[in-house]
């Protein structure tokens, strides 16, 4: 006899205690394989596809799309066992086995997310958005289906509401679903302008504009589209001293706010900076790329300089254990780099950057940047950094005093590279000049160490041969 196993929302990474269901990838009654992705969830750090550690038949799903579940809350139940003799999926009348740590008859992998365990966490009350119906469960012995609003219902329930509106909605992108959800747009009422009627972001944006004009419908989407920014969910405060627009501090913005606030509370930071002549570095990059092979980015060259500088000044590749009152010097350099995305600021991490050459660092930068752009970074890609490289020059600014990415001890900032008058070999010349700044935790080192690190980086920028002499 088959056994019904309950799979709970697993631990998705450091400090993440809940996730929002963006899109279900399986229906009740579907047969799933071990480690097959079953649901796409969004955390405060990334969009993640959660695989199921069991192989069998899905008997129930918990939570509609848009529902936020805490870690340890039930996600689905799976009937593990052989199918019926006629080839159809058989849902047994069996008790549910709770937990995710044990596999049954070899059907469970035990691997929910790479790098994260499947240990149970205490279940907490699920928080459902006010505009979403509360999720319901079904008897495990009864085949179930999903209604248009995301509820789980039994196959024997009245299907008076079934119809064309219950059909699948032609939407692939979770970002499109989120934009429609946040602005109260029913995707079933839209006609997609993409291939085979696929609903695109431009269709939702056009529907938002059409809804603002009396007498216009939201189904005609054949007109040219102009992108508009998604409107955040806001509430209006009462009139008086506290009047104004309130924007919920949650999701990525909330996670960033919490981390930066903690950094400012705990870390006594200081900043030093220096201007450097980057002309020779730019020439070196041009020569490297002219030789063929993968293109080397300026950020990759700066990252390689950083890893060499950290080898000389390991104090800056450390963290502070406040409870033990100890400075922990780290053996590996996991280099984070700040990236601005549609979801907000993220800091992907190049692991073991000290063991990579410039080309290898550049390739990893490219992979992580593309994942950040598409919203597919995993929690593992965003955690565990030991030092951060922040290229704020892309915003057209020369300098900055950034907040350290807690619990790291330092961050190197790079401004824009622009032609400026510069004394070169005793004569005034126009050179490519960049401002470098180092923000550091004054607990791990004094100004002499920080200044030495920054001066070494500037020397490598001005004379790349300095780096070759120290390798």
Residue recorded with tokens 């500088």: 309
* CA–CA dist 226, 79 (Å, integer): 48
* CA–CA dist 382, 359 (Å, integer): 21
Strands laid side by side in the 68-70 sheet: 47-51, 37-42, 18-24, 68-70
Say if CB 271 and CB 332 are below 8 A apart.
no
* Beta-bridge partners for 439: 271, 411
CA-based max dimension of the chain: 90
Residue 224 is encoded by which pair of tokens? 């040219």
Among residues 98, 332, 424, 442, the one annotated as catalytic is 442
Q: What's the gap between Cα 252 and its chain centre?
A: 8
* CA–CA dist 302, 305 (Å, integer): 5
CB proximity list for 443: less than 8 A, separation 6 or greater: 267, 268, 320, 327
Distances (CA, A) of 100 to 58, 61, 118, 326: 15, 15, 6, 37
- CA angle, residues 3, 9, 13, in degrees to nearest 5: 140
Length of the chain: 471
* CA–CA dist 355, 313 (Å, integer): 16
Residue recorded with tokens 């300089």: 305
Task: Based on the residue annotation, tell me whether 406 is a catalytic residue of this protein.
Answer: no
Distances (CA, A) of 58 to 47, 49, 54, 163: 23, 17, 10, 24
Say if CB 391 and CB 371 are below 8 A apart.
no
* CA–CA dist 420, 101 (Å, integer): 62
Distances (CA, A) of 359 to 18, 353, 410, 463: 37, 11, 24, 19
The set of catalytic residues is 442
């Amino acid at each position: 006899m088959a056994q019904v196993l309950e799979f709970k929302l697993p631990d998705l990474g450091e400090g993440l205690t809940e996730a929002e269901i963006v899109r279900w990838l399986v229906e009740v009654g579907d047969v799933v394989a071990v480690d097959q992705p079953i649901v796409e969830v969004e955390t405060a750090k990334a969009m993640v596809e959660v695989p199921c550690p069991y192989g069998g038949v899905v008997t129930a799903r918990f939570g509609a799309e848009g529902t936020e579940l805490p870690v340890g809350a039930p996600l689905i139940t799976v009937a593990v066992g052989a199918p019926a003799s006629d080839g159809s999926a058989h849902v047994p009348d069996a008790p549910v086995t709770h937990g995710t740590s044990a596999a049954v008859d070899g059907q469970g992998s035990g691997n929910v997310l790479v790098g994260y365990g499947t240990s149970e966490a205490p279940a907490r009350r699920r928080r459902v958005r006010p505009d979403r119906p509360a999720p319901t469960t079904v008897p495990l012995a009864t085949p179930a289906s999903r209604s248009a609003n995301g509820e789980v219902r039994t196959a024997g329930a009245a299907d008076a509401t079934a119809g064309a509106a219950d059909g699948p909605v032609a939407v692939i992108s979770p970002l499109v679903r989120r934009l429609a959800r946040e602005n109260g747009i029913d995707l079933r009422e839209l006609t997609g302008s993409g291939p085979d009627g696929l609903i695109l972001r431009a269709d939702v944006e056009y529907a938002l504009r059409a809804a603002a004009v009396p007498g216009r419908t939201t189904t005609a989407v054949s007109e040219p589209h102009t992108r508009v920014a998604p409107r955040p969910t806001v509430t209006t405060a009462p009139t008086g001293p506290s009047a104004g627009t309130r924007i919920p501090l949650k999701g990525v913005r909330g996670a960033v706010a919490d981390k930066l606030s903690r950094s400012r509370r705990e870390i006594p930071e200081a900043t030093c900076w220096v201007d450097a002549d980057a002309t020779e570095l730019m020439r070196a990059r041009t020569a490297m790329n002219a030789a063929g092979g993968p293109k080397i980015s300026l950020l990759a060259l700066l990252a390689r300089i950083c890893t060499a500088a950290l080898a000389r000044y390991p104090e800056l590749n450390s963290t502070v254990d406040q409870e033990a009152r100890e400075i922990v010097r780290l053996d590996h350099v996991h280099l984070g780099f700040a990236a601005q995305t549609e979801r907000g600021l993220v800091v992907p991490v190049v692991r073991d950057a000290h063991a990579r050459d410039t080309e290898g660092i550049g390739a990893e930068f490219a992979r992580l940047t593309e994942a950040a752009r598409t919203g597919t970074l995993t929690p593992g890609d965003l955690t565990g950094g030991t030092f951060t490289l922040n290229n704020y020059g892309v915003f057209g600014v020369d300098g900055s005093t950034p907040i350290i990415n807690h619990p790291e001890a330092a961050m190197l900032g790079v401004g824009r590279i622009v032609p400026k008058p510069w004394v070169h070999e005793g004569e005034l010349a126009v050179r490519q000049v960049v401002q470098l700044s180092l923000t550091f935790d004054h607990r791990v080192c004094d100004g002499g160490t920080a200044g030495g690190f920054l001066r070494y980086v500037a020397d490598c920028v001005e004379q790349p041969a300095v780096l070759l002499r120290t390798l």
